[in-house]
Amino acid sequence: MPGKLKAKIVAGRHLPVMDRASDLTDAFVEVKFGNTTFKTDVYPKSLNPQWNSEWFKFEVDDEDLQDEPLQITVLDHDTYSANDAIGKVYIDIDPLLSSEAATVISGWFPIYDTIHGIRGEINVLVKVDLFNDLNRFRQSSCGVKFFCTTSIPRCYRAALVHGFVEELVVNEDPEYQWIDRIRTPRASNEARQRLISLMSGELQRKIGLKVLEMGGNAVVGYLQCFDLEGESGLVVRAIGTACTLDKLIPGSASNTNTHPNTAPASNACNSPSKEIKEPVFSEDPTHPLSVPPTPLRTLPSSSSPPPFSPSKLCSRQSSSSDTDLSLTPKMGMGSGISVGKEAGPLKTLLRQQAQSALEQREFPFFTLTCFPPGFLVHIGGVVSARSVKLLDRIHNPALGNTRSYKLLDWNSVAADEPETRDAWWEEIRQEIKSHAKALGCHAVVGYSESTTIWYITHTILRPTSISSEEVCILSASGTAAMLNPRFMREGCLDAGGSDQRLSRQPPLGMVGSERAEGEVSSSWLGFDDASPPSCGFCHIPYDEFNMPFPAQLTYCYHCRRQKVPDVLFTTIDLPAEAAVTGKGCLIQARLCRTKKKAQGEVNATAISNLLPFMEYELHTQLMNKLKLRCMNALFGLRIQISVGENMLLGLASATGVYLSALPAPGGIQIAGKTPSDLSYDQHISTMQKRINDTIAMNKELYNIHPPECIEEVVGSPIPDRQRSRLFRSTSESSDELSELDLSHGKKDAFVLEIDDTDAVEDIQSLLTDAPMPAGFYSCNTEVMPGIYNWTSGLQMFTSVRVYRLNNANLTNQGLNKIFTDLCENLLKSLYFKLRSMIPCCLCHLNFTVAVPEEELIQVAVTAVAMSFDKETQLAADKALNKGSGENEEQLQFSMELCGESTSSNNQPTAKPSGLPESAMTHSSSRASSSERCSPLPEVRSRSLRSTRSLPCGAPVTVVKMTPLSFLPRTRIVKYLGIINMFFIRETTSLREEGGVSGFLHSFIAEVFAMVRAHVAALGGNAVVSYSMKECVFMENPNKNQAQCLINVSGDAVIFVRESDQEAIPPLITCGQTSTTGADGTT
């Protein structure tokens, strides 16, 4: 069905001088959509032309509306020679296709040129008249809403969560076409930008279709990525979570999920879908390590590391796959939970009888990281899978016209074309699923996928030929979980009675075991009232007699009824209802491993051999650092492994917290092997002291004062592992060590053995993590646990650094040190630059590392600094401490036992006994220093806002940007659509543009500007869930050239300030501008 797209070119301003003789420009505009082009008149001799054109009308299919961007080209008219292009604007009109998003696009857009950057601005008006679409067999999916936000968007309610949707399209990269040898860099860049815009439009449309098939109306947690695979092509892929969202009427409470009474029945085993599932499941590769025959040289991608699970101590590659095997049958029969989500769309399935849809449900994955209360029942732990692939040319037909590129659809994968990216991803997803099953979970939440590609000839800009010997690591990770299937079944939210139909069949195996414990029976599934929401998700989902990995279980410290593990790792955000002690902090594990230079299969093999070790070491580091901070859980875990020519980089970031429900972490103990040596002993004891001091200091820093409780190590099937041990991967002396009794009080302790130099290095690196400066907190999740009173002051930033390793012959240790320093220095630099925000928290601090060429390491980070109110924070801390203390059933008991610690609970600022002196001076210097070192007091003292208005027309709308899904002290009233932009910038005058830093600095600033302009044109005043998903930088200083590709995405929104809060005007004058923005759309 057609729609009518209308565009009007109003005016331009600040245009560049194109005619040197007159210092003026004769500008006109071409407006292109699909194959139709309109032109405005030439506006002679002006840098601020007023075209005020007619409405250009395009009558097009809505399919095209979704795929194509509106392309606006500003040119300088030249009578004698060819017209010079000034620049272009691409406008994604998708937001206009949904009735609930924007209705008009109107505003100033920066005119962008891939060689010169922003060159002036153009004012454009765009509207769409869409005719009602009644076609059943339509190819478009207009109206499906997309959200980058990985939680249910703030002004919606999730009626239904359908599940995982994915899609991928492949094309030849224009940069590597033969024609690129003869065309200008500008033409090549523009071809690429346009192609990617087209591909992402198409991808979005296809995903939308899948969502409609499933009966949903929105995709939440939409994650789109580009894989620039060089000559092998260009892959655009996306994953997301299909949902049915209902718009909330402002004011009405959003109690989407309080049906505790209907809940118990809802975990039905839903046998029908199980039938569907069983056969599929049996097709699982019996050994994850063996990969289906690969005609196209896929490696036996050994890279299926074990489930990255809590307390996994010595599990190896093989052990994980064994576990999978042994657990699979059990889970199928015993838990039967895994199929909860298939029940919902069952009707849809039957209706459509489409094999494809069925296969899709194959993956009970959710890209969400934040859930409505009650959705998440239990968390098993992190599951991840990696696979190393050799890239080969994607078999594509030649690019004739724009629509000829071939879509390698999931469903259309023919038997004769097995080696597609789809197949690769399916393999990975299957692996993830089996890992989740091993953890007794039926779903994976916080799921994400990523790739790392390494090109051999990366350093040369515009290579005329590129070797196809490219290696690609596909990674996927998520958190195994059990979900409340209520959210996945139609109608049950509104009519709880329908749940009764499918009465729950008790999972036999489980019930038996639980009864034997004489405890908690019904609460196994966590749906009943008995399991408090603040700890329910911590309870183990797996069978404690058949634990997938050795772990130490205790009864939950919160409800005392269920078992909890001693440590919990997850990729999701901390659930809002979770009970947390103290504050959290960013924990990073960094690792560098050398690799021999190699090519092709040899290279891929080398990489895949290294991967499991890297994962193991990263895990070890994380665990140590977690203990050092006296915390017991990680959220938002993100592990990235990058490949370089001669090294591998691993970076794991997560936010550590102390979950009140989990046992207190033990300290870290150092054990030496030769106790006879006196000096050696002394060395060890100083080390031990330093560690103990650090732990004590961290406790104070993060305000962690857990109530002391008696250890209750409940009957764990693993024989009395009072002490978990941490071994180096090289250490093989586990038997011998287990005889060492290292008990230190009643606390569990991690033992670090310093029998080899590696371990010494480890400890050193543990202790060299510089503490955060006073007034700063940091996390990589949405918000910092333990901080509640945000002010509206926030500052989003992007920082990119490239380091050159000058010394080529480095050892692993040397590299590690360099890499660690590099990350630490970047953090330090951030703290310094943002010192005017103190007290503040750096949220969503996710690093992206890459090895763009030999001896280069690139680190990029986009995060937000949010300031909070120190006074009320202190009060809140106190109240919280007091509160949690009073709620604690064991209060009296602990008071008797250790009055000291309780007293320090209530007065977090008081000096606790035994605290090292250094910590005290540290905290006491805080207040003064925070006042002193803020040269930009305006950031917070908003009263300074100048009343002097600038007499120059309409002010530019202030657009806030944040990687988080919300803006503190505001309410999002409308989502205007997804922002998904891809830009290329290139220069042949690198030195003149200020070198690489100057070049990238202005490019990033330009990208920000273009994002803001698009949001403002949609009528919005903020971008939430903003992320820079790609930043590929290449330089060739000898040729004075550089090129950079950036891909960003986010959700354009309108927010209003919370009026009922204390009136603190936001940082900038967003008041009046935001209302004007809103007026434009309503």
Distance between CA 596 and CA 611 in Å, rounded? 14
In the chain, count H helices and then E strands.
21, 31
Residues 828-857 that bind other proteins (CB under 8 A): 828-833, 835-836, 856
Taking the C-alpha atoms of residue 53 and residue 42, their distance in angstroms, rounded to an integer, is 11
Q: What minimum distance in Å lies between the beta carbon of 24 and other proteins?
A: 11
Site for other proteins in 40-69 (CB under 8 A): none
CA-based diameter of the chain, in Å? 95
14/870 with CB nearer other proteins: 14
Measured from the CB atom, the residue of 136 and 948 that comes closer to other proteins is 948
Instruction: Specify the residue, 441 or 972, whose C-beta has the smaller distance to other proteins.
Output: 972
Q: In terms of Cα–Cα distance, which of 682, 680, 652, 684 is closest to 669?
A: 684
Between 116 and 393, whose beta carbon lies closer to other proteins? Answer: 116
Token pair recorded at residue 292: 């289906």
Contact residues for 351 (Cβ-Cβ < 8 A; gap 6+): none
Binder among 287, 746, 882, 945 for other proteins (CB under 8 A):
945
Q: For the chain, how big is the Rg over CA atoms in Å?
A: 29
Minimum gap (Å) between residue 992 Cβ and other proteins: 5
Residue 1013 as a binder of other proteins (CB under 8 A): the answer is: yes
Contact string 108-147 vs other proteins (x = CB under 8 A): x-x-----xxxxxx--------------------------
Instruction: Tokens for 451, please give them.
Output: 């790739």
Question: Which residue from 294, 594, 901, 1069 is in contact with other proteins, where contact means CB under 8 A?
Answer: 1069
Nearer to other proteins, 746 or 932 (CB): 932
Task: Enumerate residues 6+ apart whose C-beta is below 8 A from 440.
Answer: 327, 331, 335, 337, 380, 480, 482, 540, 541, 542, 543, 548
Nearer to other proteins, 844 or 960 (CB): 960
By rule CB under 8 A, what count of residues binds other proteins?
94
* Residues of span 955-974 touching other proteins by CB under 8 A: 955-956, 958-961
Binding segment toward other proteins, per CB under 8 A, in 256-264, 569-577, 902-910, 935-943: 935-943
Structure tokens that stand for 231 in this block: 């000559």
CB atoms inside a 10 Å sphere around CB 466: 18
Tokens read off for 668: 């870290």
Can you state the percent helix, strand and coil of the chain, rounding each to 5? Answer: 30, 30, 40
Among 67-75, 321-329, 350-358, 929-937, the segment contacting other proteins (CB under 8 A): 929-937
Smallest distance from the beta carbon of 590 to other proteins, in angstroms? Answer: 14
Q: Which stretch binds other proteins (CB under 8 A): 302-310, 479-487, 505-513, 816-824?
A: 816-824
Type of residue at 664:
A
The closest alpha carbon to 721, from 307, 309, 313, 308, belongs to 313
Which range touches other proteins (CB under 8 A), out of 299-307, 525-533, 640-648, 931-939? 931-939
Per CB under 8 A, the segment of 276-284, 443-451, 612-620, 984-992 that binds other proteins is: 984-992
Closest to 655 in 3D by CA, of 566, 571, 770: 571
Residue 86 Cβ, how far from other proteins at the closest point, in Å? 11
Q: Residues 876-915 vs other proteins: string with x where CB under 8 A?
A: ----------------------------------------
DSSP state of 143: T
- Token pair for 1026: 């903003």
Binding other proteins (rule: CB under 8 A), the pick from 1, 325, 1068, 1078 is 1068
Q: Which is nearer to other proteins, 580 or 961 (CB)?
A: 961
By the rule CB under 8 A, 818 interacts with other proteins: yes
Give yes or no for a contact between 147 and 222, defined as CB atoms under 8 angstroms apart: yes
User: Which residues, 746 to 805, sit near other proteins by CB under 8 A?
Assistant: 770-771, 773-774, 795-805
What is the contact mask toward other proteins in residues 3 to 22, using x (rule: CB under 8 A)? ----------xxxxx-----
Q: Which two tokens stand for residue 642?
A: 């990058």
Min dist CB 792 to other proteins, Å, is: 12
- Name 971's bridge partners: 1056
Q: Which of residues 513-532 bind other proteins (CB under 8 A)?
A: none
Encoding tokens for residue 1046?
Answer: 């950036």
CB of 810 to other proteins, least distance (A): 10
Three-state DSSP state, 319: helix
CA 403 to chain centre: 32
- Of the ranges 302-310, 740-748, 943-951, 970-978, which one interacts with other proteins (CB under 8 A)? 943-951
Task: Report the amino acid identity of residue 980.
Answer: N
Q: Token digits for 1039?
A: 């040729």
Residue of 350, 952, 1062, 1079 that binds other proteins (CB under 8 A): 952
Tokens of 509: 């195996």
Is 1005 among the residues that bind other proteins (CB under 8 A)? Answer: yes
For residues 115 and 986, the answer to whether their CB atoms sit within 8 Å is: yes
Smaller CB separation from other proteins, 396 or 923:
923
Which residue in 136, 501, 596, 948 binds other proteins (CB under 8 A)?
A: 948
- Window contacting other proteins (CB under 8 A); options: 363-371, 840-848, 876-884, 949-957: 949-957
Work out whether 690 is an interface residue with other proteins (CB under 8 A). no
Distance (Å, whole) CA 805 – CA 195: 36
Closer by beta carbon to other proteins, 798 or else 894: 798
Comparing CA positions, the residue from 658, 663, 648 lying closest to residue 613 is 648
Q: Which is nearer to other proteins, 108 or 569 (CB)?
A: 108
Nearer to other proteins, 324 or 1030 (CB): 1030
Closest to other proteins by CB, 3 or 16: 16
Is residue 938 involved in binding other proteins (CB under 8 A)? yes
Distance between CA 901 and CA 912 in Å, rounded?
8
Residue type, 1006: E
Residues 339, 278 contacting (CB under 8 angstroms): no
CA nearest to 1018, candidates 1046, 1057, 1050: 1050
Contacting other proteins (CB under 8 A), which of 353, 679, 757, 946? 946
For residue 628, the surrounding DSSP H or E stretch is helix 600-628
- The reply to whether 923 sits near other proteins by the rule CB under 8 A is no
Return the number of the residue (553 or 1004) whose C-beta is nearest other proteins.
1004
Tokens of 45: 């001799």
What is the rounded CA–CA span in Å between residue 891 and residue 884? 9
Long-range contacts, 693-697 (Cβ 8 Å, 24+) = 693/916, 693/918, 693/919, 694/628, 694/767, 695/627, 695/628, 695/629, 695/630, 695/667, 695/668, 696/914, 696/915, 696/916, 696/919, 697/771, 697/915, 697/916, 697/918, 697/919, 697/922
Name 521's Cβ contacts closer than 8 Å, sequence gap at least 6.
511, 514, 515
Q: Whose Cβ is closer to other proteins: residue 71's or residue 114's?
A: 114
Judge contact between 537 and 268, C-beta under 8 A.
no
The nearer residue to other proteins, 121 or 748, going by C-beta atoms, is 121
Contacts to other proteins from residues 400-429, by CB under 8 A: none
**C-alpha–C-alpha distance, residues 787 and 773, integer Å:** 17
Which one, 13 or 878, has the nearer CB to other proteins?
13
Q: Mask: binding to other proteins, 650-689, rule CB under 8 A, as x and -?
A: ----------------------------------------
**Segment interacting with other proteins (CB under 8 A) among 197-205, 240-248, 557-565, 988-996:** 988-996
User: Which residue of 352, 825, 988, 1036 would you call a contact of other proteins, by CB under 8 A?
Assistant: 825
